[in-house]
Amino acid sequence: MQYIKNLWNQIPWGDLLRLSTVGGVLLAIVLGVLMVPLGLPGTWVIVVGGLLYSLIYPFDGGASSAIGVNLILIGLAAFGELMEFLVGTLGSKPLKVSNGAIVCAFIGGIIGAVVGVPVFLVGALIGIFLGAFVGAFVYEWVTLKNFGKALVNAGAVLATKMVASFLKTALALGMGIYLAFKMF
């Protein structure tokens, strides 16, 4: 029994806590970056990872303020949400895409993501884009009764959705790199 007690006391608990905390934050960064193209709040997962890390350890060995680092991450996440909304919503307006088509693209993207889940790894992503395209296309075709114009408008909605998703994914990747550098 004494052997087990001595062995228990020799376990480097501080090192294990540090390793598990860093591993958890790195996992949050990877999951956050992978969640963004799926339309999920991955930037906020990265923010939560930074907040949890700052509760246990200081950033840069104490050289950076935890409040400052977390405010930068929160600001970037909020900017990403705003950018995605503005690009996704207003990006197709120059082509005179109707608000109804944008709403139907949003609904179609959700339905497509759910339907695409069974396809391993990329199903939800393909479903979001395909669903957004189909949603906008059907609405425009029914309201305009012009196949060509509906196809062009749905393509514009799809292009803006892809651009918004790419921009937000790049922002999430930048947030992850920033947080990783602040941890070490």
Counted domains in the chain: 1
- List, in order, residues 6 or more apart from 69 with CB less than 8 Å away: 50, 54, 59, 179, 182
User: Residue 63: which pLDDT band, with cuts at 50, 70 and 90?
Assistant: confident
Range of the domain at 85: 2-183
Higher pLDDT, 122 or 166: 166
For residue range 136-166, what is the model confidence (pLDDT) as tens digits?
Answer: 999 999 999 999 999 999 999 999 989 999 9
User: Residue 39: which pLDDT band, with cuts at 50, 70 and 90?
Assistant: confident
pTM for the model stands at: 0.84
User: Residue 114: which pLDDT band, with cuts at 50, 70 and 90?
Assistant: confident
Given a cut of 80, is residue 120 above it in pLDDT? Answer: no
User: Residue 181: which pLDDT band, with cuts at 50, 70 and 90?
Assistant: very high
**Do 168 and 43 meet the contact criterion of CB atoms below 8 Å apart?**
yes
Annotate 14-52 with b (16+ C-beta within 10 A) or e (fewer): eeeeeeebbeebbebbebbbbbbbbbebbbbbbbebbee
In this prediction, residues 64-78 reach a mean pLDDT of: 95
For residue range 1-24, what is the model confidence (pLDDT) as tens digits?
Answer: 788 888 778 888 888 888 999 999
In this prediction, residues 64-84 reach a mean pLDDT of: 95
